[in-house]
Amino acid sequence: MSIELPALPFGESDLAPHISAQTLSFHYGKHHKGYVDKTNKLIEGTDLAKASLVDIIKATHGQPDKKGLFNNAAQVWNHSFYWKSLHPNAGGQPTGMLLDRIQSDFGDFASFKSALAKAAVGQFGSGWAWVVLDRGQLKVEQTKDADTPLTAGKTPLLTIDVWEHAYYLDYQNKRPAYVDAVLDKLVNWEFAAQNLG
C-alpha cells in the first residue's frame, strides 16, 4: 500500500476566476503530488511502509529525526482536506446546524468570518487557517508550515491554505484578496457541516 494522490473534487478551471487553472495545475499537480511522492519515498522499506496517512502523521509528529516525513505526510493530508474545503460557486453563509453552532460559539456569522479571515491573513509566513471542533467547541486556529490540528486531537472542519503557492500567481502578495475570494465565493460550508459529525 502506498499513499495516493486523491483526485481533485472539481476540474482545474472550475474555481476560476477566483483561483485560476494555472494555480491549481501547479498547486495540485506539482506541490500536492510532490508531497505524495516524497512521502512514499520516505516510508519505503520502513515500518511505516504500510501505515495509513493519518497513522504516519501521528507517528512522526514532534520527532526531530522524522521531521521530513512528518512535513510531507501532513502536507498530503492538509491539501486533500483543503480541496474539499473549496467548491465552485460556494462561499457566503452556511445554514442549519453549522450556522447555529457558529452563532452560539462566536455570537454571529460576521464575527466568525472576520476571525477566520484574520487567522488566514495574519498567519506569519507559510501555514494554514482552520475551523476546528475542540472538545465540543468551534474554534478558529492557525498552524505553521505543515502543522495540522489532527495531532492535537482536534476535529478539523475546514481549512484555507495560506502558503504563497496557493495564491501568488493570481494575487501576487495580496493574501487578503485571496482570502476574501475564498470566503465569499469558494468556501464549502457543506463539507464543514459534514465534519461536525
Contact residues: Fe ion, CB under 5 A: 161, 163, 166
Closer to Fe ion by CB, 157 or 166: give it: 166
165 exposed, middle or buried (CB, 10 Å; 0-12, 13-18, 19+)? Answer: middle
- Cell numbers for 146, please give them: 505543515
| Rounded least distance, CB 50 to Fe ion, Å | 27
| Rounded least distance, CB 101 to Fe ion, Å | 27
Closer to Fe ion by CB, 19 or 192: give it: 19
Q: Which amino acid would we find at residue 2?
A: S
Closer to Fe ion by CB, 34 or 176: give it: 34
Q: Which residue is nearest to Fe ion (CB)?
A: 161
Closer to Fe ion by CB, 141 or 161: give it: 161
Q: Give the three-state DSSP class for 142.
A: strand
Listing from the earlier edge strand, what are the strands of the sheet with 155-161?
137-144, 127-134, 155-161
Q: How many CB atoms lie within 10 A of CB 176?
A: 14
Number of H helices, E strands in the chain: 9, 3
| Rounded least distance, CB 25 to Fe ion, Å | 13
Q: How far apart are the first and last CA of the chain?
A: 28
Closer to Fe ion by CB, 68 or 107: give it: 68
| Rounded least distance, CB 163 to Fe ion, Å | 4
| Rounded least distance, CB 169 to Fe ion, Å | 12
